[in-house]
Chains A and B, each alone.
Chain A
Amino acid sequence: MHLIFGGAYQGKLDYAKARYGYTDQEVYDCALGKVVVRAQECDIAAANGIDFSKKVIDHLEEFVLACVRSGREAKELLAKDSEMWKDSVLICTDISSGIVPCDAEMRAWREMTGRTLMYLGTEACEVTRVFCGIPQQIK
Chain B
Amino acid sequence: MDGLYAVWITSGGSVNVFISGGCKNGKSYFAQSLAKWQAAENRPLYYIATMHPVDGEDQARILRHREERQGWGFSTIEKSTEIGRMEADFTGSFLLDSVTALLSNEMFRRDGTIDHEAHRRIAEELTQLAQQSNRMVFVSDYIYSDAERYDELTELYRKGLAWIDRTLARVCDVVIEVAFGRIQIIKGPANFMESMDIQEIQSMYGR
Contact = CB atoms under 8 A, between A and B. Distances in A.
A132 interface: yes
Contacts of B162: 7-10, 132
A15 to B, nearest CB: 11
Interface stretch (A17-25, A77-85, A94-102): A94-102
A99 B166 contact: no
A108 to B, nearest CB: 9
A110 B143 CA distance: 15
Nearest to A113: B147
Given A9-B159, A132-B18, A132-B186, A106 B147 contact: yes
A131 interface: yes
Interface in A124-139: 131-134, 136
Contact of A95 (B142, B146, B175): B146
A106 B147 CA distance: 6
A9 B170 CA distance: 15
Interface of A: 6-11, 93-99, 101, 106-107, 109-110, 113, 131-134, 136
A110 B146 CA distance: 9
A53 B20 CA distance: 37
Contacts of A131: 20, 169, 175, 177, 186
A109 B158 CA distance: 20
A7 B161 CA distance: 12
A34 B190 CA distance: 44
Interface residues of B, number: 24
Interface in B12-60: 18, 20, 22
A81 B143 CA distance: 33
B144 A8 contact: yes
A134 B148 contact: no
A101 B147 CA distance: 7
The winner among A9, A97, A98, A132 for most chain B CB atoms within 10 A is A132
Nearest to A135: B186
Contacts of B159: 8-9
Nearest to A102: B148
23 contacts: A7-B144, A8-B144, A9-B144, A10-B144, A11-B166, A94-B145, A97-B145, A98-B143, A98-B145, A98-B147, A98-B148, A99-B148, A101-B147, A106-B149, A109-B147, A131-B20, A131-B177, A131-B186, A132-B18, A132-B162, A132-B165, A132-B166, A134-B175
Nearest to B146: A98
Contacts of A8: 144-145, 158-159, 162
Contacts of A7: 142-145, 162
B79 interface: no
The winner among B159, B162, B177 for most chain A CB atoms within 10 A is B162
B43 to A, nearest CB: 27
Interface in B107-135: none
Contacts of A95: 145-147
Contacts of A94: 144-145
Contacts of A96: 145, 147
Contact of B148 (A10, A106, A113, A133): A106
